[in-house]
Every structure is written in structure tokens, then in C-alpha cells.
Amino acid sequence: QVQLVQSGTEVKKPGASVKVSCRASGYTFSDYYIHWVRQAPGQGLEWMGWVNPNSGGTNYAQRFQGRVVLTRDTPISTAYMDLSRLTSDDTAVYFCARDLSSATVVTVLDFWGQGTLVTVSS
């Protein structure tokens, strides 16, 4: 069965960076785009970007441009989200999610990781 398993809780100081991993299993990792979505405490969902596990190509939401880097390590079926220059506003649960389409990116998110809480506090 398809599973996305994320790395554990992180606590960071303002100005630091965080790297969250997302290990996929149960399907061919290179065939489906991986998206990252975050959710601040008590708030809604915010799309951050996607990575093409086959080519490594990426697309980022403009508000995260220059601060987020999405990468992948295809041999170990793992995607990564690296967010730099953290502030308290980045305190959130970060989710990875698989795109439903294997042909192209459509942003229909059919499988999700369990989420990783990132707390930014001095």
C-alpha cells in the first residue's frame, strides 16, 4: 500500500533552517510528483511547492521563493523540504503529499504523509 512517512518533530531558533524528509513506499517513487503543504496551528492549508522525483524539477509558491528548496533522492524514494531563514510565522505542521496523476502534475493530492511539526522559537 502507498505510504509516505515523514521525519520527526523539529524545534528551531529564528534564522535557522529546517529539513524535513518524506520517505515513500508502495509505488514507483519516480512516477508521481511530491507536493509540500503546511498548516499553521489552528489555521488552514497552504501549498508550498512540488518536486518532480524523476527529473528533480521544482515549482514553488511565490511567497516561499528563495527560502524553500525541494529535492529528492530517488534511489531511496525520499523527498526533502528545506526551509531557511525561519521565523515564528513558520511554526506549522508540514505535510508531503503525492499527486494523483502519473502523467503530469495536477495537484490532486491522493496520499499524504503524517505531518511534521516544526516549531520556531527563541
Partner 1 sequence: DIQMTQSPSSLSASVGDRVTITCQASQDISNYLNWYQQKPGKAPKLLIYDASNLETGVPSRFSGSGSGTDFTFTISSLQPEDIATYYCQQYGNLPPTFGGGTKVEIK
Q: Which residues bind partner 1 (CB under 8 A)?
A: 37, 44-47, 59, 61-62, 95, 97, 100, 106-110, 112-115
Q: Of the two residues 22 and 120, which places its CB atom closer to partner 1 in the complex? A: 22
Min. distance of Cβ 67 from partner 1 in angstroms?
15
- 112 CB-near residues (< 8 Å, 6+ apart): 4, 95, 96, 97, 98
Closest separation between CB of residue 102 and partner 1, Å? 14
DSSP one-letter code for 102: S
For residue 74, report the phi and psi dihedrals to the nearest 5 degrees: -60, -40
Amino acid 46 reads: E
Return d(Cα 102, Cα 60) in angstroms, integer.
20
Min dist CB 32 to partner 1, Å, is 14
Nearer residue to partner 1 within complex by CB, 18 or 96: 96
Q: How far apart are CB 122 and partner 1 at their closest, in Å?
A: 26
For partner 1, give the closer residue by CB, 49 or 75: 49
CA distances from 77 to 12, 46, 66 (A): 26, 24, 25
In the complex with partner 1, which residue's Cβ is closer, 104 or 122? 104
